[in-house]
Amino acid sequence: MEATTTPVVETGRSTRVRPGTRALFLHGSNYGTCREFAAQLADEAAVLGCDVEVAPLDAYAEGLPTDRPVVIAAASYNGRPTDDALAFATWLKGTHDLTDVTYAVLGVGDRNWAATYQHLPTRIDARLAELGATRLTDRAAADASGDLTGAVREFTARLRAELLETHGDPDATDAVGPVEPATGYKVRTLTGGHLDALAERHGLVPMTVTQAHDLTAPGHPRRKRFVRVALPDGIGYRTADHLTVLPANVPALVERAAAALGVDLDTVLDIRPARPRRDGLAADRPVTVRQLLTNHWS
Ligand SMILES: Cc1cc2nc3c(=O)[nH]c(=O)nc-3n(C[C@H](O)[C@H](O)[C@H](O)COP(=O)(O)O)c2cc1C
C-alpha cells in the first residue's frame, strides 16, 4: 500500500493521481447493475490517471492486492452472494491478515428485501475491516427502489476525493495548462463495421434468421411471432437461457425522428466522448445520422 500521507499540493488541489497509481474494481453482480457501476467507477478513476482493472470478486477469491485500492460494488440475492462472488464470500470467512489492504464498498440492494437488505456488501465491508483492512471511504448503500443514481453519484464523488487525497500528484493541479500533443497526427485503424463496437460491448454475435412468421391471426392486436435462428458455431442454447436481440429502429421511425430534429439522414457525425467511458454511445467511428438513429438510439 502506498503511504496515505501524500502532501496535498499547496498551490492548488491535485487533479490527477501520481503516475503509476493503480486501482482495482471488483463486482458481485448477477444481472449487471454492479458490474456496470464497477466499470463506471473505474472510468472515473481512469480520468484521474489511475491504471484500472475491473473483475468479478471471484477473480480475487484467494486474496486481495495490497499495492492498490480495491473498490467493490456488490449486491445480494436473498441475502446470498451473487454467482460471481461465491468463492470470495467463502474466502472472507477465513482468517487473513489484511492490514495492508485499502478498500471501499458500494453496496447495491433493494429495500423491498427488508430482512436481508444490503446483506452481502454490509458483510464484506465489516469483515474486511475486522481483518485489518483500511476503509478508503465509508460504505454506500444504494437502493434500487430509492435514489440509486444519487447514492452512486455521492459515493463516486467521495471516492474521487479520497483517491486524490491519498494518491494525488502534487505536480498536477488546476493550474496546469493543456498538454501539447507529441505528434502532429493521431492515426486510428478501423476494421470491421460500425456495429462491431456495439456488439462487443454487449457480447453479441450475428445469427441468421432461418424462419419467421406470425403465430397470431392477421390483425390481432397483440401480434406474436415465431422466429427460428441458426446458432453459430460455439454458441449453445438450453431451455430457460435468454436470447437478447439488438433491435434496429424501422426506417419510417428513423425518418420521422430525423425530420423532427431537422437533420439530414446522410450527414456524417464524428461523435467522441469528452472522457473515456464504458456506458456511453458504443460508436468507435463516424456514423451517419441514419445509422445513429437506427442502431444506437432507443
Ligand atoms: C430474486 C432477488 C433477490 C434479491 N435479494 C436481495 C436481498 O436479499 N437484499 C437486497 O438488498 N437486495 C436484494 N435484491 C435486489 C438486488 O440486489 C438489486 O436488484 C441489485 O441491483 C442487483 O444487482 P445486479 O444487477 O448487479 O445483480 C434481490 C433481487 C432479486 C431479483
77 CB within 6 A, ligand 1: yes
Identify which has the larger pLDDT, 276 or 45. 45
Q: What is the Å distance from ligand 1's center to 268 Cα? A: 42
Residues in the chain: 298
| Residue 286: closest CA among 274, 271, 273, 297 | 271
119 CB within 6 A, ligand 1: yes
Q: Ligand 1 test: best mutation among 27, 37, 76, most atoms within 8 Å of CB?
A: 76
Mean pLDDT of 17-39: 95
Residues 198-220: tens digit of each pLDDT: 888 777 888 999 999 999 999 99
Q: Where are the alpha helices (DSSP H) in 208-277?
A: 251-261
- How close are the terminal C-alpha atoms of the chain, in Å? 44
pTM of the prediction? 0.70
What's the Rg (C-alpha) of the chain?
A: 23
| Residue 73: closest CA among 118, 34, 104 | 34
Nearest CA to ligand 1 atom 22: 75
- DSSP symbols for 119-146: HHHHHHHHHHHHTT-EESSPPEEEETTS
User: What's the pLDDT at 120?
Assistant: 98
* The one-letter amino acid at 176: V
User: What's the pLDDT at 184?
Assistant: 78
Enter the C-alpha cell of residue 97: 491478515
| Residue 135: closest CA among 62, 45, 72, 81 | 72
User: What's the pLDDT at 137?
Assistant: 97
Distance, CA of 54 to CA of 28 (rounded, Å): 11
CA dihedral 138, 9, 46, 149 (to 10 degrees): 40
Secondary structure class of 150 (helix, strand, coil): helix
75 CB within 6 A, ligand 1: yes
Mean pLDDT of 228-251: 88
| CATH 3.40.50.360-classified regions of the chain | 22-167
Nearest CA to ligand 1 atom 3: 77
Percent of the chain with pLDDT over 70: 91
42 CB within 6 A, ligand 1: no
Q: Under CATH, which architecture does the 22-167 domain have?
A: 3-Layer(aba) Sandwich (3.40)
Band (8; pLDDT cuts 50, 70, 90):
very low
Residues 90-116: tens digit of each pLDDT: 999 999 999 999 999 999 999 999 999
Distance, CA of 141 to CA of 153 (rounded, Å): 12
Q: How far from 91 is each of 61, 66, 99, 129, CA to CA, in Å?
A: 6, 16, 16, 15
Work out which ligand 1 atom sits closest to the CA atom of 118.
11
Nearest CA to ligand 1 atom 2: 77
User: What's the pLDDT at 133?
Assistant: 98
User: What's the pLDDT at 239?
Assistant: 87
Residues 117-153: tens digit of each pLDDT: 999 999 999 999 999 999 999 999 999 999 999 999 9
Band (190; pLDDT cuts 50, 70, 90):
confident
Question: What residues does 54 pair with on adjacent strands?
Answer: 25
Q: Where are the alpha helices (DSSP H) in the chain?
A: 33-47, 86-93, 119-130, 148-167, 196-202, 251-261, 289-295
Residue 154 has pLDDT above 50, yes or no: yes
User: What's the pLDDT at 297?
Assistant: 84
Task: Say if CB 80 and CB 123 are below 8 A apart.
Answer: no
Enter the C-alpha cell of residue 98: 489484511
| Residue 285: closest CA among 265, 266, 268, 270 | 270
CA torsion sign for 231, 35, 44, 26 is negative
Band (13; pLDDT cuts 50, 70, 90):
confident
* Residue whose cell numbers read 460508436: 283
User: What's the pLDDT at 3?
Assistant: 43
Give the chain's count of helices (H) and strands (E).
7, 10
